[in-house]
């Protein structure tokens, strides 16, 4: 059995960036990273633009100007101003080539066709120069830039509607177990509602991984092997839950080994999530998470999350870990390091009652996990503890 830190290191080492590309409509490219540099197809702004509502001036040595016309946003005409002439102008409107400053209207007195400005102004004031943000043909955004709402707005302002981005992994989620039935079905004796697929699907969606398919297999060796074979061939990441322990009907480990999946580790000294498997085949990463829902989700956040970040070529790969003061007492049984379901708020953390691997009720109200190392046997109120903040 390996330690938590050894397991994390192995995931970091063995999960590699996906170097596949795809095209996305710009509005759907949030969270992706650019596969290549993007050059600007236009000057931005595309014309000299007024930054204020006011008057565009052809400057001269006098505070009085003659008004000769008006330009509003969207106008396409070109007015010719001589020195001492002005045009009424509005924010976003094209500044005539013959104007060299814009005075905001609050600083202007209007008397019929003559305006008087409060003071002399510098050349080019309140004019956004042509191509100030980026010039046509020049680099707009570098390869690998993450497409945030601001970046999407910027690319859209350049008239770009489609972007080439690094593909996100295609992911298969597989649940195993004869006891599992779907919501809506009768809950016959011995059955439970299947919940790991919705839980992990929503965890993936919240991290903006949408290319996910869900598969369900019974506790049957042949069916497990054949399903795993097809999903491993077709996906970049495979996440299985259940059937990875030592019971007579736990077939996942045997099937993965028959499929020649390279095992990087099986069993981690931790609670929950001891029977965790991680392996790779060709370029596909495979995690077999324990079936117990709270164990599966903990392993997702501690290990699968890292693999996802590595596949996306992100620099920060693990969830943030901070120190906080415990407002609870907790006593650990056994010597496995523990991830404890907890509520973090304002530098304080409450460790919840009900820490078993099956405890969905406590996980449902948690926003953090407290990591309790192997050597610690108890946490007292007031102790400083390590907290993993969940991306929820």
Residues that bind ligand LQZAQKY5 (CB under 6 A): 175-177, 179-180, 192, 194-196, 241-247, 250, 272, 274-275, 290-293, 295, 357
Please state, as a whole number, how many other Cβ atoms lie within 10 Å of the Cβ of residue 153.
Answer: 10
Do the bridges between strand 321-326 and strand 368-372 make them parallel or antiparallel, or are there none, so unpaired?
unpaired
Length of the chain: 392
Question: Which one, 75 or 218, has the nearer CB to ligand LQZAQKY5?
Answer: 218
Restricted to residues 140-179, the positions that interact with ligand MOO (CB under 6 A) are none
What minimum distance in Å lies between the beta carbon of 206 and ligand MOO?
A: 22
For position 292 contacting ligand MOO by CB under 6 A, the verdict is yes
Task: Select from 48, 168, 227, 271 the one that contacts ligand MOO (CB under 6 A).
Answer: 271
Chain residue whose CB lies nearest ligand LQZAQKY5: 291
- The count of other CB atoms within 10 Å of the CB of residue 82 is 10
Q: Does 242 bind ligand MOO (CB under 6 A)?
A: no
Measured from the CB atom, the residue of 184 and 334 that comes closer to ligand MOO is: 334
| Smallest gap from residue 272 Cβ to ligand MOO (A) | 3
Question: What order do you get walking across the sheet with 54-57 strand by strand?
Answer: 101-104, 54-57, 85-89, 64-71, 114-117, 108-111
Q: Is 343 exposed, middle or buried (0-12, 13-18, 19+ CB in 10 A)?
A: middle
Per CB under 6 A, does 274 bind ligand MOO? yes
What stretch of H or E contains 201? helix 196-206
Alpha carbons within 13 angstroms on the beta-carbon side of residue 61 total: 0
Q: Which of 94, 96, 242, 290 is in the footprint of ligand MOO by CB under 6 A? A: 290
3-state secondary structure of 34: strand
Q: What string of DSSP letters covers 336-383?
A: S-EEEEEEEETTEEEEPS---TT-HHHHTT-SEEEEE-TT--EE-TT-
* Gap between the Cα atoms of 289 and 295, Å rounded: 8
| Beta carbon of residue 134, minimum distance to ligand LQZAQKY5 (angstroms, whole number) | 50
3-state secondary structure of 233: helix
Q: Which does 241 bind (CB under 5 to 8 A by kind): ligand LQZAQKY5, ligand MOO, none?
A: ligand LQZAQKY5
Query: From residue 329 to residue 368, what is the string marking binding to ligand MOO with x (rule CB under 6 A)?
Result: ----------------------------x-----------
Return the residue of 71, 134, 295, 369 that touches ligand MOO, per CB under 6 A: 295
Distance CA 33, CA 286 (A): 24
* In the complex, least distance from residue 356 CB atom to ligand LQZAQKY5, rounded to whole angstroms: 10
As measured in angstroms, the least distance from the Cβ of 358 to ligand MOO is 7
DSSP annotation string for 122-160? -TTTTEEPTTSSB-TTSEEE-TT-B--HHHHHHHHHTT-
From ligand MOO, ligand LQZAQKY5, none, interface partner of 192 (C-beta below 5 to 8 A by class): ligand LQZAQKY5
- By beta-carbon proximity to ligand LQZAQKY5, the closer residue of 133 and 357 is 357
Residue with Cβ nearer ligand LQZAQKY5 (176 or 309): 176
Q: Where do contacts with ligand MOO occur on this chain (CB under 6 A)?
A: 271-274, 290, 292, 295, 357
């Amino acid at each position: 059995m390996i330690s938590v830190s050894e397991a994390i290191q192995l995931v970091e080492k063995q999960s590699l960036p996906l170097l596949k590309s795809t095209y996305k409509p710009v509005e759907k490219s949030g969270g992706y990273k650019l596969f290549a540099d993007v050059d600007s197809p236009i000057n931005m702004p595309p014309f000299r633009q007024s930054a204020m509502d006011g008057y565009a001036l052809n400057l001269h040595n006098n505070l009085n100007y003659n008004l000769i016309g008006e330009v509003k946003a969207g106008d396409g005409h070109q007015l010719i101003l001589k020195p001492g002439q002005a045009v009424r102008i509005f924010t976003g409107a094209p500044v005539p080539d013959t104007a060299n400053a814009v005075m905001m209207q609050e600083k202007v007195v209007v008397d019929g066709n003559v305006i008087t400005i409060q003071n002399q102004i510098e050349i080019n004031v309140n004019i956004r120069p042509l191509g100030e943000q980026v010039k046509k043909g020049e680099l707009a955004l570098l390869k690998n830039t993450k497409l945030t709402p601001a970046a999407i707005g910027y690319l859209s302002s350049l008239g770009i509607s489609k972007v080439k981005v690094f593909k996100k992994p295609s992911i298969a989620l597989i649940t195993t177990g004869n006891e599992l039935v779907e919501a809506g079905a009768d809950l016959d004796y011995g059955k439970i509602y299947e919940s790991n697929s919705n839980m992990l699907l929503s965890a993936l969606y919240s991290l903006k991984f949408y290319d996910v398919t869900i598969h369900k297999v019974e506790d049957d060796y042949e069916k497990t092997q054949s399903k795993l074979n097809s999903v491993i061939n077709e996906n970049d990441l495979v996440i299985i839950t259940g059937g990875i322990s030592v019971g007579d009907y736990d077939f996942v480990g045997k099937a993965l080994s028959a499929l020649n999946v390279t095992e990087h580790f099986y069993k981690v000294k931790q609670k929950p999530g001891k029977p965790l498997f991680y392996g790779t085949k060709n370029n596909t990463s495979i995690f077999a998470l324990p079936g117990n829902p709270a164990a599966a989700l903990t392993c997702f956040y501690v290990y699968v999350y890292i693999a996802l970040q590595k596949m996306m070529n992100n620099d920060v790969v693990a969830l943030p870990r901070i120190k906080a003061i415990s407002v609870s007492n907790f006593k650990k049984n056994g010597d496995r390091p523990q991830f404890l379901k907890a509520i973090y708020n304002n530098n304080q953390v409450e460790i919840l009652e009900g820490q078993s691997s099956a405890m969905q009720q406590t996980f449902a109200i948690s926003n953090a996990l407290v990591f309790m190392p192997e050597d610690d046997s108890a946490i007292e109120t007031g102790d400083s503890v390590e907290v993993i903040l969940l991306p929820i």
